[in-house]
């Protein structure tokens, strides 16, 4: 199995190192000091599960790699529309694209087999720009439950979790999906193949849609947000509104809001990816989290006043941060 990791940051490099350990032919696409470090020393993974180093081929030129069986996208979702020149050299007719993104994916209604089958979500696929680069037919969904961070160039700190749920948009247990799940498991990761991956998307989104923007607005960690009575109440309300949208689309999350909050509190003083992006001067990945759910609320007729309020505030924050 030949796999390219396009955007081999903390999550991408961690997955690439694990797949390499499991015997896959892995190639990392990165840039800058991180790329230079991985070329010199390999990917160094620091984890309570055991430290290891994977000496994986790394490059900034996908043409060096050529066509692969799977592309694992470690890019932020707001980079997808512009990644055409990077991904095109990696594709053959049957190459699958595994998008390890937070939030609502561009392929969400592809082969949905419901009243919105084929509907394009403008906030995540504006004008079809993402679908033009990443054909929905290539997509395998992936919901990431692992937490990692780059401790230094070429050094990935694994914080918690090893689960990467994968699934087909059409809910089939396809050979390509099963094979990728097996390769992930061979590398020591949990990779259940889920027929109803959209349920997992909403479960993960329940936290991302609330904790991520609030953390950026308040400059707060997970624990701080959970322990502050005011922000906890706002987060509970945001979660309830999000659950209502999910249910209107036929999805079942299966976890109570209180249990979701308790799990987040146990994470401790972790900074969300959105807060980290703000601190590093990077664009905030809000469209696939908040904007998309508000768009889905509009088409399903669900009232989401708190989501709209937090969206307005965080959108202004994103605009000011980008100025």
> Alpha helices, DSSP H only, in 187-271?
197-218, 222-227, 229-248, 257-267
Q: Which is the catalytic residue, given 2, 190, 204, 282?
A: 204
Of 11, 9, 77, 83, the closest CA to residue 291 belongs to: 77
pLDDT of residue 136: 97
Q: Taking 90 as the threshold, does the pLDDT of residue 285 lie above it? A: no
> Mind listing the pLDDT tens digit for each residue in 51-107?
999 999 999 999 999 999 999 999 999 899 999 999 999 999 999 999 998 999 999
Residue ranges, comma separated, of all CATH 3.40.50.720 domains in the chain are 2-195
Whether residue 76 lies in the annotated active site: no
Quick count: other Cβ atoms within 10 Å of Cβ 218? 15
Specify the pTM. 0.93
Q: Taking 90 as the threshold, does the pLDDT of residue 270 lie above it? A: no
Residue ranges, comma separated, of all CATH 1.10.1040.10 domains in the chain are 198-322
pLDDT of residue 215: 96
* CATH number of the structural domain 2-195: 3.40.50.720
Check: CATH 1.10.1040.10 for 198-322? yes
Q: Taking 90 as the threshold, does the pLDDT of residue 172 lie above it? A: yes
Distances (CA, A) of 26 to 105, 164, 227, 231: 24, 17, 42, 42
What's the CA gap between 235 and 252, in Å, rounded? Answer: 19
Q: Which residue's entry shows tokens 């700190």?
A: 157
Question: What does the DSSP 8-state code read for residue 80?
Answer: G
> Mind listing the pLDDT tens digit for each residue in 143-170?
999 989 899 999 999 988 999 999 999 9
């Amino acid at each position: 199995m030949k796999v390219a990791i396009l955007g081999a940051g903390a999550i991408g490099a961690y997955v690439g190192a694990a797949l390499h350990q499991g015997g896959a032919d892995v190639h990392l696409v990165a840039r800058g000091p991180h790329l230079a470090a991985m070329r010199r020393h390999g990917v160094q993974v620091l984890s309570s599960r055991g430290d290891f180093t994977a000496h994986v081929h790394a490059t900034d030129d996908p043409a060096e790699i050529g066509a692969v069986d799977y592309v694992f996208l470690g890019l932020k979702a707001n980079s997808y529309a512009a990644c055409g020149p990077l991904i095109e050299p990696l594709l053959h007719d049957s190459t699958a694209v595994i998008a390890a993104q937070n939030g609502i994916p561009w392929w969400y209604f592809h082969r949905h087999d419901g009243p919105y089958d084929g509907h394009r979500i403008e906030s995540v696929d504006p004008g079809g720009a993402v679908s033009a680069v990443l054909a929905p037919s290539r997509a395998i969904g992936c919901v990431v439950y692992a937490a990692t961070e780059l401790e230094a160039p070429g050094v990935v700190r694994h914080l918690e979790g090893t689960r990467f749920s994968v699934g087909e948009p059409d809910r089939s247990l396809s050979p390509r999906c099963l094979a990728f799940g097996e390769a992930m498991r061979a590398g020591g990761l949990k990779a259940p193949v889920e027929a109803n991956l959209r349920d997992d998307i909403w479960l993960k989104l329940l936290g991302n849609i609330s904790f991520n923007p609030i953390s950026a607005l308040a400059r707060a960690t997970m624990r701080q947000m959970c322990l502050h009575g005011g922000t906890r109440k706002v987060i509970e309300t945001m979660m309830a509104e999000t659950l209502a949208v999910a249910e209107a689309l036929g999805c079942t999350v299966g976890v109570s809001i209180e249990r979701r909050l308790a799990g987040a509190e146990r994470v401790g003083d972790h900074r969300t990816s959105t807060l980290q992006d703000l601190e590093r001067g990077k664009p905030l990945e809000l469209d696939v989290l908040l904007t998309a759910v508000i768009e889905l609320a509009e088409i399903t007729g669900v009232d989401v006043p708190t989501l709209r309020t937090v969206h307005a505030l965080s959108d202004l924050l994103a605009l000011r941060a980008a100025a």
